[in-house]
């Protein structure tokens, strides 16, 4: 057996393998057994003829092709392992030469984990200024805004008998027609929304302001010429609205009692202090994320790396699945979303390519730095991180479907990346890293 390995562009390897009769002979019996299964020979039941007789009824080329296929299935993985080729995904394999009872040549082309030529990443990181986290402050107005948000989230809805006003929560039945025909999604019952937030066509909500519970109203509107639904632009619509209910928010009083209802706080001042601490922690985390992102981008900018197309395509597919999951939470079908943005899935994938390349580059750079710095994670660290990840998934059914090997790899990646950034920040020294694997 002769093996020749060539390096190609886009982080690919070309493996050319020549096999002689001696290399292929061990696969002959299995090839004959497989081909014999569908062979009908007089005097024998289907597939039951002795192999020596079956061979005489088979094309030598067909037998050799099957022997070759079986040989490739066994030999290719061994070459990858023996030659320590860091292959990604499935190879493209072509048989380039086949001479029965003499020799076979096949060519395999496979993507590999690319070589990453890093710059002096620690020097780059040291040049990026850090805003001292100790100097970060929280202003009183920030605390007040957070407190008002909490107050609004604890508001009660009370039904009122007056006319509808802006900021009221109203419930309506409505029909929207064009030339006596309902438009798409032009009818709903018991639809609730905050009046004045612009949930409908311009002018729609203005017509509801001043209506009372039980009142019905008919009016006309002209759709703006820049309306997203092109088929409705400049069209006159006939609208019928029935107001079912008007509710208003009743905000709780901001006092010690309110603070006690939120959690383990004795006074409103205790709650404010807790809010301040939380906002400060959030600012520090954002500052850390900002610095890390800038550091990584600058390191990547000076890194030499030939991205394999398969990794970029895989990342694009992952991004599409992430988008679908987000849309599912919003109860918006993916195809409807594509209709709204007037793009095909292929258009979306083309737009995702640049970001996908950045994400792949980031992962490979962090992986390479971790390798250079000999960063490791103990089983205890990995187990702790896995438990943290699972605690964020409330549904037991979803937890049970998670591939444990993939979860472990994901947890390891998070730990590894965190340790890489700590080295770049100068908050963790190499000689203090955990060496337990």
Three-state DSSP state, 12: strand
Other C-beta atoms closer than 10 Å to the C-beta of 335 total 10
Strand 2-8: give its sheet, edge to edge.
Answer: 2-8, 12-20, 103-112, 87-99
Reported as a single tens digit per residue, the pLDDT across 338-384 is 988 889 999 999 999 999 999 999 999 999 999 999 998 999 999 99
Closest CA relative to residue 92, chosen from 111, 75, 114? 111
Extract the tokens encoding 203. Answer: 């002018």
Residue 18 to residue 3: CA distance in whole angstroms = 7
Q: How far is CA 40 from the centre of its chain?
A: 53
Closest CA relative to residue 408, chosen from 436, 380, 435? 380
For every one of its 437 residues, what pLDDT tens digit does the chain have, with 9 covering 90 and above?
Answer: 999 999 988 889 999 999 999 999 999 999 999 998 888 888 888 888 899 888 888 888 899 999 999 999 999 999 999 999 989 888 999 999 998 888 899 999 999 989 999 999 999 999 998 877 778 899 999 999 999 999 999 999 999 999 999 999 999 999 999 988 999 888 999 999 999 988 788 999 999 999 999 999 999 999 998 887 888 889 999 999 999 999 999 999 999 999 999 989 999 999 999 999 999 999 999 999 999 999 999 999 999 999 988 899 999 999 999 999 899 888 888 988 898 888 999 999 999 999 999 999 999 999 999 999 999 899 999 999 999 988 888 777 677 778 888 899 899 999 999 999 999 998 765 444 444 33
- Res 401: pLDDT: 79
Residue 171 to residue 245: CA distance in whole angstroms = 5
Three-state DSSP state, 224: coil
Query: Hey, what CATH topology would domain 2-113 get?
Result: Alpha-Beta Plaits (3.30.70)
Residue 258, CB-side half-sphere exposure with 13 Å CA sphere: 17
Diameter of the chain by CA atoms?
99
Residue 312 to residue 368: CA distance in whole angstroms = 18
Residue 370: enclosing H or E segment and its boundaries?
Answer: helix 345-372
- Decide if 334 contacts 349 (C-beta within 8 A): no
What does the domain layout of the chain look like in residue ranges? 2-113, 121-154+268-302, 156-250, 307-358, 373-437
DSSP class of residue 37?
A: T
Q: Return the CATH number of the domain spanning residue range 156-250.
A: 3.10.50.40
Residue 120 to residue 126: CA distance in whole angstroms = 10
Q: What is the pTM of this model?
A: 0.68
Reported as a single tens digit per residue, the pLDDT across 119-134 is 999 999 999 988 777 7
Beta bridge partners of 238: 177, 220
DSSP class of residue 135?
A: G
Residue 135 to residue 132: CA distance in whole angstroms = 6
Contacts of 231 (CB under 8 A, 6+ apart): none
């Amino acid at each position: 057996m002769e093996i020749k390995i060539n390096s190609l562009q886009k982080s690919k390897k070309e493996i050319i393998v020549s096999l002689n009769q001696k290399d292929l002979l061990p696969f002959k019996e299995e090839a004959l057994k497989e081909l014999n299964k569908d062979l009908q020979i007089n005097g024998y039941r289907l597939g039951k003829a002795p192999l020596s007789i079956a061979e005489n009824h088979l094309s030598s080329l067909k037998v050799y092709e099957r022997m070759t296929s079986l040989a490739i299935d066994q030999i290719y993985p061994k070459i990858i392992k023996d030659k320590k080729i860091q292959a990604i995904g499935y190879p493209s394999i072509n048989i380039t030469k086949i001479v029965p009872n003499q020799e076979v040549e096949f060519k395999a082309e496979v993507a590999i984990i690319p070589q990453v030529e890093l710059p002096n990443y620690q020097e780059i990181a040291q040049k990026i200024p850090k805003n001292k986290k100790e100097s970060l402050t929280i202003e009183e107005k920030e605390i007040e805004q957070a407190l008002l948000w909490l107050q609004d989230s604890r508001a009660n809805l009370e039904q009122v008998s007056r006319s509808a006003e802006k900021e009221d929560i109203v419930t309506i039945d409505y029909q929207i027609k064009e030339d006596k025909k309902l438009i798409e999604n032009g009818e709903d019952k018991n639809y609730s929304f905050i009046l004045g937030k612009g949930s409908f066509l311009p002018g729609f909500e203005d017509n509801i302001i001043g209506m009372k519970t039980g009142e019905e109203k008919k009016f006309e509107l002209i759709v703006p010429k820049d309306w997203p639904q092109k088929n409705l632009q400049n069209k006159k619509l006939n609208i019928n609205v029935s107001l079912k209910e008007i509710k208003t928010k009743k905000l709780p009083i901001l006092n010690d009692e309110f603070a006690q209802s939120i959690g383990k706080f004795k006074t409103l001042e205790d709650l404010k202090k807790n809010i301040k601490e939380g906002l400060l922690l959030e600012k520090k985390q954002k500052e850390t994320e900002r610095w890390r992102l800038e550091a990584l981008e600058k390191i990547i900018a000076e890194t030499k790396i030939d991205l394999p197309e398969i990794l970029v395509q895989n990342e694009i597919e992952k991004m599409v699945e992430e988008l679908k999951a987000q849309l599912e939470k919003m109860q918006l079908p993916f195809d409807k979303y594509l209709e709204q943005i007037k793009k095909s899935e292929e258009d979306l994938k083309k737009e995702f390519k640049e970001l996908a390349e950045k994400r792949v580059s980031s992962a490979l750079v962090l992986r390479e730095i971790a390798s250079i710095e000999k960063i490791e994670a103990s089983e205890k660290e990995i187990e702790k991180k896995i438990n943290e990840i699972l605690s964020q998934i409330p549904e037991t059914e979803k937890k049970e479907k998670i591939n444990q090997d993939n979860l472990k790899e994901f947890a390891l990646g998070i730990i590894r990346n965190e340790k890489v950034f700590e080295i770049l920040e100068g908050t963790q020294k190499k000689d203090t890293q955990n060496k337990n694997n």
